[in-house]
Amino acid sequence: MIQLSLIVPMYNEQEMVPVFFARAEEVLCGRFSYEYIFVNDGSRDGTLAALKNLARRYPQVKIISLSRNFGKEAAVTAGLQAAAGQAAVILDADLQDPIELVPVFWEKFQQGYENVYGQRTDRRADSFFKRFTAQAFYKVYNKVADFPMPYNAGDFRLLSRRAVEAVAALPERERFMKGLFSWVGFKSIAVPYCRRPRAAGRGKWSYWRLWNFALSGLASATSLPLKLWTYAGMAVALFAFVFAAWIAYKKLVWGNPVSGYASLMVTILFFSGVQLITLGIIGEYLSRIFTEVKRRPVYLIDEKINF
C-alpha cells in the first residue's frame, strides 16, 4: 500500500521539474512508500515533456495533464481525487515550502493528526507589499468567515485519507482550497517554518490574480457582505429621512434657502456610488451561483501517465 501521495500542481515550471524531483528524492527515498502526482495545469513551456521524461524512468512518477489551464485550485483537486496514499501532501513546485518538513508532517500524522499544515513564521522571501496584503487578507478573512482558517497557512499540508476524500467530494466549482481544508475539520496541528525564495524560475501569481483570488475566497467564506449592505441601506435611508426633515424645518422656521446645485450633485454622486458598490457585491455572489448551476466539471483531463 502506498503510504504517501505527493501532489504537485505545475504551471510553466520547466526549470523546476529536475530541481524539485532531485530534492524530493533526497528527502523521501527510503523513508516511505510514495507516489508523485504531478498535475500539469495547461503549461505552455516544456513542463509536460520534462515530466514525461521522469515518468519513463521512475514508476512512482504519475502525471495528470489537464486539457488547459484551470487554475491551481482545480489542479490540487485533480491531484486529491487521484491520490491513492494513506495520506497526501500538497506541495508547490517552487520549493518555497520546504519538502524537508514532509517527514515531520508524517510523524504528526502517525500521532493521530489528520490535517497537518505548515505555518509560515518568516516571509522575508516575499516582497513587503505581498507580506502586507497577505496579513491584511488573513485578518479580514478570519473576521468575516464562518469557518476561520489558520493564520499564515497555505496549501502546504498533509491530509489523512479521510480528509482527502472529504475535500475531494465537495461539489462546488468555485473552490477556495484553504477555506475548504478548514471547513472539513478533523484533528489539526500547525508545523512552523520559514518560507524560502524560489529555487528556480519565476512566480506565476500577479497582484491582479491575487486580488481576484482574495475576493473569490471571501465570497466563498461568508455571505456577510450582503447582510452588511442591507444594514447600510437602512442606515442611509434613515439618514436621508432625518436630513430631509432638517432641511424642511430650517425652511419653515428660519426661511433658509434649500442648498443648491453643488450639494445636490455631491449627494447624487455619493448615493450612486453606494448603489454601484452594492450591485457589485450582489453581482459577485450571482456570478458564483451562475457558475455553480451550470455544473461543469472543475477540470478536464487530457492524459494520465503511469496510473
Q: Count CB-CB contacts under 10 A for residue 214.
A: 17
Distance between CA atoms of residues 272 and 182, nearest Å? 38
Q: What is the pLDDT of residue 127?
A: 65
- The H-assigned helical ranges of 29-152 are 47-57, 72-82, 102-110, 128-144
- pTM value is 0.70
Low-confidence ranges of the chain (pLDDT < 70): 122-131, 134, 141-142, 197-224, 226, 251, 255-266, 269
Helix H or strand E segment including 101: none
Q: What is the pLDDT of residue 269?
A: 67
Of 110, 90, 99, nearest in space to 168 by CA: 90
Per-residue model confidence as pLDDT tens digits over 51-73: 988 888 888 889 999 988 888 88
The single-letter code of the amino acid at 231 is Y
Helix H or strand E segment including 86: none
Q: What is the pLDDT of residue 38?
A: 92
